[in-house]
Chain A
Amino acid sequence: MSGDLKEGRIVVVGASLAGLRAAEALREKGFTGSLTVVGDEPHPPYDRPPLSKHVLLGNASAYSTGLPMRRDPEAEWRLGVRATGLDPVGKRVLLGDGSSLPFDRLLIATGTRARPWPVPEEAALDGVFTLRTSDDAARLAERLSAGPRRVLVIGAGFTGSEIASVCRERGLEVTVTERGPAPLVGALGGTLSKLAAAMQRAHGVDLRCGVTVTSLRGNGRFTGADLSDGTRVDADVCVVAMGAVRNVEWLADSGLAADPRGIACDAGCRAFDMYGIVTDDVFVAGDVSRFPHPLYEYQLLSLEHWRNAVDQAEVAAHNMISPGPLRRPHLSVPTFWSSQFGYNIKSVGVPTFSDEVVIAQGSLEARRLVMVYGYRGRVTAAVTVNMAKSLDYYERLIESAAPFPPPPGAADRRAAAEVPLPSDVPDPSRLSHGPTVALTGYLPDRRLVLAKPTG
């Protein structure tokens, strides 16, 4: 049986980080059959995080972020071709060029795309951008280099905040609008979002929270935007940073449990069908998946995190060529980073899965701290600002469900660490930026089903 699984035909749909790492891992683990990787972009797999930092700063070309291979996966690459459908009975992936690919096992790693501005005519104005692909980054970097008088960034999530940071570093005036009360509040909760707001303002960002953009103006060329508070922002460039949309539309007729929240799968990366029955030949990895995590009450997590794409791709690859008892669960603790305004923000765990926080090390005043998040008396997450070396320690606390507040020895500021504050995690539907971690089952403090269409 296990011999058979190492042969046959595997198709990977999605040629970004998860697709590449899965293809490498399949070969590493001994898959000798035919391997085809399909990608809708014409570029070989490339790394996206530098696009909103190094590339926009003008320090690297948008097309220089190609991912190094760990080993050559000896795959057939079908790049620049979109998957348009899946026939689960005939076991074929349908492609945009009219052809189709037969498979024995399939990995879906189609990721996300930038959420576009909802009014197409306004989105089409010259000077209105989103940022997800290297083509997006090339166009936006060129426009920033031309020295616009002002840049408007809609949405103060991680991407929007990083873009604003780049603009200030390049000496450009920038206005950021956010429907929520502060930047990053959807990912980090109330206290750190206030620090994020202070960092932005200290660096000269014109930050407008609690407002929405009601229309983008311009006659062919973007000239400014109207805000819900009745004010107007004049700008030459607008970056729509309103979160991501999962690439699931091509699966509409596939019978899989695919919806705007992603494709539901089990802890072994096997996709569920629409009846909640697990499939045995269709696997999911990366941003497009949502999977149960035991540390978070088996809620289905959707993570738009670099490390999750790598870890989940490796587990998926292993399980695709391993018989049942040898399969592994995807259990890694979620983790991400962002660099903005000269600060390094790193997170481990799920900060939104929390009811209280303490500052265990450092302080808000020092702009250097560890914030620990707890839920019902156990540690569920930690976020560091310029204290990355502490993160491993808190990861171990999270993995072992250590008591919250963390015990003495985990804190260098006893007083602050003994006074838990509300974590103040908002309802994600009230934000301009999509959350990068979405709890798509129950919110811990509300016990309501969150089934908000994000499209």
Chain B
Amino acid sequence: MRVVVDLTRCQGYAQCVFLAPDVFQLHGEEALLYDPAVPEDQYERVRQAAAACPVQAILVGEEVSAGVR
């Protein structure tokens, strides 16, 4: 599972940081850093974080698989 945050939309409400602190962190007051490759034990937390984002800036999904044609 991969995650990407639309950081133009992100306003630093930090709901994701509370829900999945191993994946999302604040850097300074409102700059969001996140781990784009979600570890398996974090899937549920990241889905919750995506659902809870007040500006719906978090997209969760599968990447295009390697070797695709």
Q: Which residues of A contact B (CB under 8 A)?
A: 20, 43-47, 49-50, 53-54, 57, 59-61, 64-70, 76-79, 305-307, 310, 335-337, 339, 341-344, 346, 368, 386, 388-389, 391-392
- Shortest beta-carbon distance from B28 to chain A in Å: 3
Chain B residues within 8 Å of A341, by CB? 28
Is A344 in contact with B28, judged by CB distance below 8 angstroms?
A: yes
Q: A336-B8, A391-B11 are in contact. Are A60 and B36 (CB under 8 A)?
A: yes
Chain B residues within 8 Å of A388, by CB? 10-12, 30
Report the 9 A-B pairs with minimum CB-CB distance, sorted nearest first: A68-B61, A66-B63, A342-B28, A339-B31, A64-B37, A44-B64, A344-B31, A68-B2, A307-B8
Is B63 in contact with A44, judged by CB distance below 8 angstroms?
A: yes
Q: Which of B24-49 contact A (CB under 8 A)?
A: 27-37
* Residue from the list B2, B8, B30, B33 in contact with A386, Cβ < 8 A: B30
Q: A50-B36, A68-B60, A344-B12 are in contact. Are A44 and B31 (CB under 8 A)?
A: no
Is A69 in contact with B61, judged by CB distance below 8 angstroms?
A: yes
SS of B interface (majority): loop
User: In the assembly, what is the distance between CA of A117 and CA of B37, in Å?
Assistant: 32
User: In the assembly, what is the distance between CA of A60 and CA of B2, in Å?
Assistant: 12
Q: List 30 A-B contacts (CB under 8 A).
A: A20-B64, A44-B68, A45-B63, A47-B36, A49-B7, A54-B35, A54-B36, A59-B35, A64-B36, A66-B63, A67-B4, A68-B1, A68-B59, A69-B61, A69-B62, A69-B63, A70-B59, A76-B69, A77-B69, A78-B69, A337-B8, A339-B32, A342-B31, A343-B28, A343-B31, A344-B30, A346-B8, A386-B29, A388-B11, A391-B11
Is B6 in contact with A307, judged by CB distance below 8 angstroms?
A: yes
Is A68 in contact with B31, judged by CB distance below 8 angstroms?
A: no
User: In the assembly, what is the distance between CA of A174 and CA of B47, in Å?
Assistant: 39
Nearest to B7 among chain A residues (CB) is A337
Chain B residues within 8 Å of A368, by CB? 29
Is B35 in contact with A60, judged by CB distance below 8 angstroms?
A: yes
Chain A residues within 8 Å of B64, by CB? 20, 44-45, 66-67, 69, 77
Total B residues in contact with A, Cβ cutoff 8 Å? 32
Nearest to A42 among chain B residues (CB) is B66
Nearest to A368 among chain B residues (CB) is B29
Nearest to A68 among chain B residues (CB) is B61
- Shortest beta-carbon distance from A420 to chain B in Å: 27
Chain A residues within 8 Å of B17, by CB? none
Chain B residues within 8 Å of A53, by CB? 33
User: In the assembly, what is the distance between CA of A335 and CA of B62, in Å?
Assistant: 26
Chain B residues within 8 Å of A61, by CB? 37
Chain A residues within 8 Å of B29, by CB? 342-344, 368, 386
- Shortest beta-carbon distance from B33 to chain A in Å: 5
Chain A residues within 8 Å of B63, by CB? 44-46, 66-69
User: In the assembly, what is the distance between CA of A78 and CA of B27, in Å?
Assistant: 37
Nearest to B35 among chain A residues (CB) is A60
Nearest to B58 among chain A residues (CB) is A68
User: In the assembly, what is the distance between CA of A310 and CA of B65, in Å?
Assistant: 21
Contacts A46-B63, A344-B29 supplied; 6 other A-B pairs, CB < 8 Å = A68-B59, A335-B8, A336-B8, A343-B28, A346-B8, A386-B30
- Shortest beta-carbon distance from B19 to chain A in Å: 18
